[in-house]
């Protein structure tokens, strides 16, 4: 592989690893929010209208920001009935064929996320709940997460191309 492609793959993987490892800890934040709400509601009879929605936002950030890292560690769900026993080179060839479909899907998702973000900014979009928080922050996170996964999918395609050629 040419050096610029190797640098691209290395840089994208390092960014996704840092962001993915950070996003792992968001599960604890979500658990803390839900625990706080549970104790507040049951022990002190003080329910909060914001707790469940914040927990949903944190969970969305968790899985959106962790998508690229999940690709690095091969953590996505796959039908391994046929794929599992194949050699690394044969898997790489199959991934070279299916990779562009994933990349196309992620491009469409990214375009939609940017459109949604622009709408949220322009109209100061808020959630339709009694609390009504602004949706711009979670839509920014959504766009960043989809972009990181798109870039990781491209990096994975280059890695598969290298494996299919028998390169390191």
Residue-wise pLDDT tens digits, 2-59: 999 999 999 999 999 999 999 999 999 999 999 999 999 999 999 999 999 999 999 9
Distance CA 116, CA 148 (A): 17
Please determine, for residue 80, whether its predicted confidence score (pLDDT) is greater than 80. Answer: no
Position 97 scores a pLDDT of 95
Position 155 scores a pLDDT of 98
List Cβ neighbours of 157 (8 Å cut-off, separation of 6 or more): 95, 96, 99, 100, 103
pLDDT-derived band at 100, boundaries 50, 70, 90: very high
Position 76 scores a pLDDT of 80
Distance CA 74, CA 10 (A): 16
Residue-wise pLDDT tens digits, 120-147: 999 999 999 999 999 999 999 999 999 9
Please determine, for residue 78, whether its predicted confidence score (pLDDT) is greater than 80. Answer: no
User: Among residues 110, 115, 35, which one has the least CA distance to residue 68?
Assistant: 110
Cβ(57)–Cβ(46) below 8 Å:
no
Q: What is the pTM of this model?
A: 0.92
């Amino acid at each position: 592989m040419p050096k610029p492609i190797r640098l691209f793959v290395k840089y994208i993987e390092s960014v996704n690893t840092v962001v993915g490892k950070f996003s792992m800890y968001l599960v604890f934040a979500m658990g803390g929010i839900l625990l706080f709400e549970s104790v507040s509601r049951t022990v002190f009879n003080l329910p909060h209208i914001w707790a469940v929605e914040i927990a949903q936002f944190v969970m969305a950030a968790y899985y959106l920001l962790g998508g690229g890292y999940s690709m690095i560690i091969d953590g996505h769900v796959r039908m391994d009935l046929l794929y599992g026993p194949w050699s690394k080179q044969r898997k790489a060839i199959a991934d070279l064929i299916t990779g562009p479909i994933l990349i196309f899907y992620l491009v469409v998702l990214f375009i939609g996320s940017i459109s949604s973000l622009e709408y949220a900014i322009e109209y100061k979009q808020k959630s339709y709940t009694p609390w009504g928080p602004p949706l711009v922050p979670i839509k920014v996170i959504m766009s960043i997460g989809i972009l990181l996964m798109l870039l990781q999918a491209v990096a994975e395609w280059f890695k598969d191309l290298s494996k299919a050629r028998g390169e390191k």
